[in-house]
C-alpha cells in the first residue's frame, strides 16, 4: 500500500490563503453596499413608477371620456348652454373652460386674451377673446364673478384650447358672487348628453345650405374635429354667435 506523505505548506500557499481572505473581507462590504443601493434605488424608483402608472391611467380615462356624436363630455364636469364647462376646486372657486363642441366650431385658436386677475365682471361681460383666423370671438362670462387666476400657459400656447379643452386648455378660475354650481341652470350626466345631441342636430341644420364640400359628419354621425376649417368666414361668424353668445 502506498504511503501518503504530508507535503509541507509552502509560502505561496500562505499567500493564496491570505489573498482569498482579503478578497472576501473586501467583497462583503461591497456586496452590502450594493444591496443597500438596490434597496434605496427601489425606494426611489417605486413611487416614480407608481405615479407614472396613475398619470397614465388618468390620461387614458380623460381620453376615453364619454362622448356624444364625437364630442367628449367628462362625467365629472358641469355644462351650460353657452358651451362653457365648470368644475369646483379646493378653494371653493370654479374653473371654467370652453367645451369640446365649442372649440370645434371656433376652429384653430391663434391667440387668446383673458380678463386680468382681480377684475370683477358682470354676467355677459367678456371673459376672454379668441382670435381664430381673421375672426375675433368674445366669450361672455356666465355669472357675476371676480377673476382669481388665469391660465397663462393657454395665453402662451392658445392651441391648448383645441388640443386639451378640459385639462391644459382651461381658461380661468372664478370667484362667483352667486351659487352658480347650484343654480339649477347647469347640466350634468344624461341631461347634459341629451342636450349635446340636440346641439349637434341644431348645428347640422344651421349649415344645411352651406356648399356640399362642407363635411360635417364624416363618421356617420360624429362631428368632425376640423369642422370649422370647412366653413367660410361669414358662416363661421354666424355659427359662433348662435352657439356661444
Instruction: Please write the tens of the pLDDT for every residue from 79-103.
Output: 999 999 999 888 889 999 999 999 9
pTM: 0.70
The percentage of the chain sitting over the pLDDT mark of 90, rounded to a whole number, equals 42
Q: How confident is the model at residue 5, as a pLDDT?
A: 41
Q: Tell me the per-residue pLDDT of 32-78, one tens digit each, with 9 for 90 and over.
A: 776 655 555 545 544 545 555 455 444 544 445 678 888 999 999 99
**Mean pLDDT confidence for 138-155:** 94
Q: How confident is the model at residue 35, as a pLDDT?
A: 67
Q: How confident is the model at residue 74, as a pLDDT?
A: 93
Structural domains in the chain, sorted by start: 68-244 (2.40.50.100)
Q: How confident is the model at residue 140, as a pLDDT?
A: 93
Confidence of residue 4 (pLDDT cuts 50, 70, 90): very low
Q: Which three cell numbers stand for residue 165?
A: 379643452
Confidence of residue 2 (pLDDT cuts 50, 70, 90): very low
Q: How confident is the model at residue 184, as a pLDDT?
A: 65
* Between 218 and 134, the higher pLDDT residue: 134
Q: How confident is the model at residue 159, as a pLDDT?
A: 94
Q: Tell me the per-residue pLDDT of 159-215, one tens digit each, with 9 for 90 and over.
A: 999 999 999 999 999 998 876 666 567 888 899 999 999 998 888 888 877 664 445
Amino acid at each position: 500500500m502506498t504511503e501518503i506523505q504530508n507535503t509541507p505548506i509552502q509560502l505561496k500557499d500562505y499567500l493564496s490563503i491570505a489573498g482569498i481572505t482579503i478578497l472576501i473581507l473586501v467583497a462583503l462590504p461591497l456586496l452590502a453596499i450594493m444591496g443597500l443601493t438596490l434597496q434605496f434605488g427601489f425606494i426611489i424608483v417605486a413611487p416614480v413608477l407608481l405615479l407614472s402608472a396613475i398619470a397614465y391611467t388618468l390620461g387614458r380615462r380623460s381620453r376615453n371620456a364619454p362622448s356624444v356624436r364625437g364630442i367628449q363630455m367628462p362625467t365629472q364636469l358641469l355644462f351650460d348652454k353657452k358651451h362653457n364647462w365648470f368644475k369646483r376646486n379646493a378653494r371653493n372657486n370654479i374653473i371654467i373652460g370652453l367645451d369640446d363642441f365649442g372649440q370645434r366650431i371656433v376652429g384653430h385658436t391663434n391667440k387668446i386674451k383673458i380678463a386680468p386677475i382681480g377684475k370683477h365682471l358682470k354676467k355677459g361681460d367678456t371673459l376672454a377673446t379668441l382670435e381664430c383666423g381673421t375672426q375675433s370671438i368674445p366669450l361672455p362670462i356666465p355669472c357675476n364673478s371676480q377673476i382669481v387666476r388665469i391660465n397663462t400657459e393657454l395665453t402662451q400656447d392658445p392651441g391648448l384650447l383645441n388640443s386639451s379643452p378640459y385639462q391644459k386648455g382651461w381658461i380661468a378660475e372664478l370667484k362667483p358672487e352667486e351659487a352658480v354650481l347650484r343654480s339649477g341652470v347647469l347640466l350634468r350626466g344624461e341631461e347634459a348628453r341629451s342636450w349635446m345631441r340636440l346641439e349637434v342636430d341644431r348645428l347640422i341644420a344651421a349649415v344645411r345650405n352651406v356648399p356640399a364640400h362642407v363635411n360635417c359628419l364624416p363618421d356617420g354621425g360624429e362631428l368632425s374635429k376640423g369642422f370649422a376649417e370647412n366653413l367660410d368666414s361669414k358662416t363661421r361668424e354666424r355659427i359662433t354667435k348662435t352657439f356661444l353668445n
